[in-house]
Structure 1
Amino acid sequence: MFRSAAFLRLWAGSTASGTATWALPFILGLAVLERSISAVELGVVLAARTAGFLAAVPVAGVLADRYPRRRVVLWAGLVAGCASPVIALGAGRSVVLTAVAAAVVGAGQGACRPAFQALTAEVVTAEHQRQQANAAMTLSVRVTTLVAPGLTALLAVVVDTPALLIATGVLWLVAALLPPAGGAAPVAPVGRTRFTADFLDGVREARRHPWFLAGLGALTAVIATGYSATGVVLPLVSRDRYGTEAVLAAALTAYTVGALIGAVLVSRWRPRARGWAALAGLGCYGFAPLALLLPVPAVVVVAAYAVAGLGIELFNVPWFTAAQREVEPRLLARVSSLDFLLSYGLAPVGLALIAPAIGHFGAGPVLVGCAVACFAAPAAAALVPSSRGFRVEQR
């Protein structure tokens, strides 16, 4: 794949956007440590970014199907790139200005996601190469997650947080300017329908693919329960059961390493029942809350997170590839926006509800419920006949 200059540009642009996306909350966390902003301000700014993301995703899905996907990536990156220095300007001075700028950055991030997904299908025209291409795209995200914390911490010794925030703006400009133009994918005529009608066309297209609705339901359930519960409970278990934050750090690192291994594995693996294999990988996330529930050695918790990370990539790559293969090209960005809107959109809801649920019922029952959801939701999705191969068989 990397012998193709067009794909290499696409991959580098996507990597730049992913790095900028990941870096913002980490850099703002450093600002809290430096007392440039308060923890409350951090929460407001990150909430504003999430709101911008969720507001932009469905709009961008329609726009990326109306207009060339490359143009949507360009404007999304430029918007986020211009707003990033404003966050640096407002941090510690105006919470309102910082939150508004973060919402604009979040909108750029949200607009990029469905556009990049559809642009990948245009740049990589050979169907047999798309799974490898999607694996390479997700691999860059995992490498960034693994390497970037230490690199950012080192940079913070040399430069201050405003400079790091401006650097994320530069990354967004790279994401805007570097990707290539896509192919001649069909684009809906401009001005003939309203936004709502165009968006509903995407919903109807999604409904034509029962495997997509079932898989999206399973993914949303896993993220809203397992991901949210482990995010809240893991720090507590690390501190209270094992008496050290090292278990927290090791588990999160193991998750990323597992995801890296999964991305490498799935770039070459082509199981016959690829949908069932992907859903089985998604179900592996249930081992994470299960390990937090049971009084097991710390190494078992770390191993469970590694398995969860591996499994999530065994799902993600075939999932993206199937959407690019099965969904009508002129509607791909809209269908992809539904994916990001529900799976990512409900994650904050899960995080918001998990803590009160633990306070009311206790960590044990909540972890049991989350583990059951993580195992049961993919299993239920696998019962949909078209889920076996992530395709509707033609009779």
Structure 2
Amino acid sequence: MTGPPASTLDRSARAEPPSPLRGPAFLRLWTGTTASGLATWAMPFILGFAVVDDSLTPAALGLVLATRTAGFLVAVTVGGVLADRYSRRAVVLWSGLLAAVASPVLAAGVGRSLALMAVAGAAIGAGQGACRPAFQALTAEVVPPDHRQAANAATTLAVRVTTLAGPGLTALLAAFLDVTALLVGTGLLWLVAALLPPAGRYRGQDLDAPGPAAERAGFRAEFGEGVREARRHPWFLGGLGALAAVIATGYSATGVILPAISRDRYDTESVLVAATTAYTVGALLGAVLIARHRPRSPGWAALAGLAAYGLAPLSLWLPVPALLVVAAYAAAGVGIELFNVPWFTAVQREVEPRLLARVSSLDFLVSYGLAPIGLALIAPAADAFGPGPVLAVCTLACFLAPAAAALPRGARHFRTTRVAAETPARA
């Protein structure tokens, strides 16, 4: 009896093992992360329907969203410490359950109790904030290092698809369901985010160590340890500063000034719609590109992508045709994902695993925390000095901050130590 041909054996020996991104662990994690992102996006959009049908005032909507932001900022710090102290899976579970329980409470308060809505909004924001660093750390546990860039790209791709398709889908559901039912639906999404993700390898720090529990360092000390770990990576501090500058200036300026430019310069709201849609489509394209592309200098390439956001305020500053505004927003969308995916991947690779959630929480705290400040200051600045000077400053900040972030040690590759190609061989 003859065996299989040698060529068949050779092909079998060379066959690649199945990708871990197709395994059940990552698919469960990806689905849970996507569900949390969809629920996070949907809540303010659904409450907008409540404003349209006069069951909620714009001021009340602003208060609920403000309490959600406050809950997020407090919980993202606490969640980072807890996700390093205990298992990341446990933090995802309890934070998701908190948001799941608070969502129907928010629904019950619409048109009845603003105080109840504010408390529920804060609880939902706390659940959202606590799960973010835990999800980031859990990705590093579930996905092998060589596949994390593709995993992060797949996650951000799902978020962008949600942003693009979500408004139409929600509007369709609103034709059959009221605001209360839609908000309860976000609670079901949070339930999926809480229950579906898999358990990781990390089980917490010294949970079985002898000695009294009082010997454990306090919250401030544990968060301070995460800050010290962040300071150990100069490229991280530079990149985080650049990201914060772009969000506080470029993102805020375009969010506040774009509607007015669309109305006053182009005499139509279609520029606003087209530009925001182009940004999301560009981000989708950027996620697809970075899923497989590996630049030789990933840090510098990522920072160049972040600097591309400056094209958005630049297009609003200059009297260009509407088509160029749309193109600028598309380029900004591509660039932001060319930054985001390598950035998350580098943090997961370079940061000490037991401190990963705390460093991730610092990332979200600084970047998300400055966004409301920028949004609050841009409109008064535009009223005082005019939109032109404000857009000029924002454009320069978006270009110069990433350029400055390219200077610290390790920024070229987003690595704390030199890559092998740059390290001289030992004699």
Shared fold (TM-score, shorter chain, > 0.5)? yes
Is it true that 1:166 corresponds to 2:190 in the alignment? no
Equivalent position of 2:167 in the other structure: 149
Structure 1 segments, 4+ long, off by >4 Å, are: 188-191
Secondary structure of residue in 2 paired with 1:109? helix
Q: 1:175 aligns with which of 183, 193, 210?
A: 193
Q: Do the aligned residues in 2 keep the contact of 1:20 with 1:171 (CA within 8 Å)?
A: yes
- How far apart are the structure 1 equivalents of 2:86 and 2:203? 10
**Amino acid in structure 1 at the alignment position of 2:231:** R
Is it true that 1:287 corresponds to 2:344 in the alignment? no
Equivalenced residues, count: 394
**Amino acid in structure 1 at the alignment position of 2:126:** A
> How do 1:60-99 and structure 2 match up within 5 A?
60-99=79-118
Q: 1:6 aligns with which of 19, 25, 29?
A: 25
Q: Do the aligned residues in 2 keep the contact of 1:185 with 1:330 (CA within 8 Å)?
A: no
Q: Do the aligned residues in 2 keep the contact of 1:48 with 1:99 (CA within 8 Å)?
A: yes
> How do 1:1-395 and structure 2 match up within 5 A?
1-124=20-143, 126-184=144-202, 187=205, 189=207, 192-394=216-418
Q: Do the aligned residues in 1 keep the contact of 2:87 with 2:204 (CA within 8 Å)?
A: no
Once the two structures are superposed, what CA deviation does each residue of 1:174-203 show, in whole Å capped at 9, x if it has no partner? 000000001246635565110000000000
- How far apart are the structure 1 equivalents of 2:365 and 2:289? 28
Q: Which has the larger radius of gyration?
A: 2
Once the two structures are superposed, what CA deviation does each residue of 1:186-243 show, in whole Å capped at 9, x if it has no partner? 6355651100000000000000000000000000000000000000010001111111
- How far apart are the structure 2 equivalents of 1:3 and 1:335? 28
- How far apart are the structure 1 equivalents of 2:254 and 2:188? 33
Once the two structures are superposed, what CA deviation does each residue of 1:265-307 show, in whole Å capped at 9, x if it has no partner? 0000111110000000000000000000111111100000000
Shift of 1:2: 3.9
Once the two structures are superposed, what CA deviation does each residue of 1:61-98 show, in whole Å capped at 9, x if it has no partner? 00000000000000000000000001110111111110
**Amino acid in structure 2 at the alignment position of 1:97:** L
Q: Do the aligned residues in 2 keep the contact of 1:230 with 1:289 (CA within 8 Å)?
A: yes
- How far apart are the structure 1 equivalents of 2:310 and 2:147? 31
Once the two structures are superposed, what CA deviation does each residue of 1:341-395 show, in whole Å capped at 9, x if it has no partner? 0000110000000000001110000000000000000000001131000012257
- Percent of matched pairs sharing the same residue: 71
Q: Do the aligned residues in 2 keep the contact of 1:292 with 1:367 (CA within 8 Å)?
A: yes
TM-score (norm 2): 0.91
Q: Do the aligned residues in 2 keep the contact of 1:186 with 1:329 (CA within 8 Å)?
A: no
Q: Do the aligned residues in 1 keep the contact of 2:96 with 2:194 (CA within 8 Å)?
A: yes
RMSD after superposition: 1.0
Once the two structures are superposed, what CA deviation does each residue of 1:109-128 show, in whole Å capped at 9, x if it has no partner? 0001000000000000x211
Give the direction of change, closer, same or farther, for the CA distance of 1:291–1:340 in structure 2 (3 Å limit). Answer: same
Secondary structure of residue in 1 paired with 2:200? coil
TM-score (norm 1): 0.98
Secondary structure of residue in 2 paired with 1:10? helix
Give the direction of change, closer, same or farther, for the CA distance of 1:197–1:233 in structure 2 (3 Å limit). Answer: same
- How far apart are the structure 2 equivalents of 1:252 and 1:33? 21
Deviates more, 1:77-86 or 1:188-197: 188-197
